[in-house]
Amino acid sequence: MKTKTLLVLALSMSFAQAYAQVNEEQVLNSAPIDVDGYLHEKPVTDGELEQIRSEINKQKTGTVLNKEKAKDLGKLTNQTEKLLESQDEYIDQKIESTQAIKEFNSKYEEGQRKLRCIMEESDSKECEPYMSKYKKNRVQEAQVEEVQEVKVSQAAATPVISQTEVAQIAGAPFEAIKLLPYAGATSYNGDVEQLETQLSAGLRLESNITTRFSMGIGFNLNQLKTNDFANNSNYMNQGYLGQYGIEGREIQYRSMGLDVYGKFFLTNGERFRPYLGAGLGYARATMKYNDNNPYIDQFSSFSYGSEEYNTSFVNGNLMIGSEIMITRTFGINIEGAYSTGLGDSLSSKAAKNGGTSPDQRRLNELGDEIINAAALSVFAGAVINF
């Protein structure tokens, strides 16, 4: 019984081993399966096909290499052009620096020759230009020293140089004469009225007293117009309004004056010369209505038309500004100024009696207010040196 059992067991193991070998061969020899579960046929090929495919891959590789080479050759071309440009720039800079060095060396050698001629006091032909100029400067310096010594000691010695040369050396008075035309705007700020001019202009003639102080005389003109809004409304009845309108009549003010002033320059510069100044002036002012059509108020016996007010007064002014020279003989001048009347008018004359002509009284009052108002001005003009 045991023998039969062992025999059956041995046969079973042999059969199982043979079945496993068959299954393994089927798995190894079966067609490959893609990841999506489908069978993939084994590609058919031979030596010639593989050679063709190898040639295709070689040509593809050559194409990629040629493209990369062409791209790098383009970069090489651009870099070569940049190199040529930088080389040209280097050559230009080298030429300029070489010329500058030559010019410096030439000037340096000339300076050394000049110094050697002066130190040795040589009379050679080479040193003649330097020595003549040096001797001339020495003579001028000696003359200036002699003039200064005469001035300090107040001695009555015979002058060594002419008065014109002394003026040019020391900056004597009235050496430079300047003409200064100007124009701008002026604002009168009184207790009641604030008015602005239509025209503010003038002309000055000025000369130096020292290198930093100058004095001058000037002519000025101011003109403005304003409607008489502030006139006394208690006499503006229906007849007045019908004759002159609700805005009142237009007033015209004009003043002309002369002033004497001085300016102190804050610096000794030749091109930019800021200054402070002050002056005293005399002016003549006229004020009148532009509409002089006559009108008589029968109710109040007031008369209107032909009113005029003339006055003269003294004013003082302060100024701050700067001269900006463009050339030695021409420049521009910018200035701000403050002025006001000093006290009452010197004289005044009214065309009509203020008691019987309210508008005449109005002109008198407005004229006095303008004279004593704080006048602020801004001017721009030219500087012409003679």
pLDDT for residue 113: 79
* Residue 297 reports pLDDT greater than 50: yes
Range 88-113 average pLDDT: 87
Pick the residue with more confidence: 83 or 227? 83
* Residue 345 reports pLDDT greater than 90: no
Q: Tell me which of 3.40.50.11810, 3.90.1300.10, 2.40.160.20, 3.30.960.10 is the CATH number of domain 171-385.
A: 2.40.160.20
* Residue 14 reports pLDDT greater than 80: no
* Residue 295 reports pLDDT greater than 70: yes
Range 349-371 average pLDDT: 83
Range 100-107 average pLDDT: 88
* Residue 253 reports pLDDT greater than 80: yes
Phi-psi region of 37 (alpha: psi -120 to 50; beta: other; left: phi over 0): left
Pick the residue with more confidence: 270 or 243? 270
pLDDT for residue 138: 67
Range 135-140 average pLDDT: 66
Phi-psi region of 154 (alpha: psi -120 to 50; beta: other; left: phi over 0): left
Tell me the percentage of the chain whose pLDDT exceeds 90: 36
Candidate from 168-177, 196-205, 281-290, 292-301 with smallest mean pLDDT: 168-177
Pick the residue with more confidence: 362 or 373? 373
- Asked whether 312 and 251 are in contact (CB, 8 A), the reply is no
Pick the residue with more confidence: 102 or 383? 383
Pick the residue with more confidence: 173 or 352? 352
In 3D space, the residue among 258, 251, 310 whose CA is nearest the CA of residue 285 turns out to be: 310
Stretch (H or E) spanning 66: helix 47-120
pLDDT band for 158, please (50, 70, 90 cuts).
very low
pLDDT for residue 268: 86
Which of the residue ranges 5-19, 255-269, 297-311 has the most confident prediction, judged by mean pLDDT? 255-269
The domain spans of the chain are 89-170, 171-385
Pick the residue with more confidence: 277 or 351? 277
Report the 3 state secondary structure along 164-215: HHHHHHHCCCCCCEEEEEEEEEEEEECCCCEEECCEEEEEEEEEECCCCEEE
In 3D space, the residue among 130, 135, 358 whose CA is nearest the CA of residue 236 turns out to be: 358
Return the number of other C-beta atoms located less than 10 Å from residue 271's C-beta: 11
pLDDT for residue 36: 56
Pick the residue with more confidence: 96 or 114? 96
pLDDT band for 323, please (50, 70, 90 cuts).
very high
* Residue 205 reports pLDDT greater than 60: yes
pLDDT for residue 206: 95
Range 351-355 average pLDDT: 74
**53 Cβ neighbours under 8 A, 6+ residues apart:** none
* Residue 63 reports pLDDT greater than 80: yes
Q: Give the whole-angstrom CA distance, residue 55 versus residue 47.
A: 12
pLDDT for residue 2: 54
CA of residue 33 relative to chain centroid, distance: 86
pLDDT band for 15, please (50, 70, 90 cuts).
low
- Asked whether 251 and 363 are in contact (CB, 8 A), the reply is yes
Tell me the percentage of the chain whose pLDDT exceeds 70: 74
Name the 3-class secondary structure at 15: helix
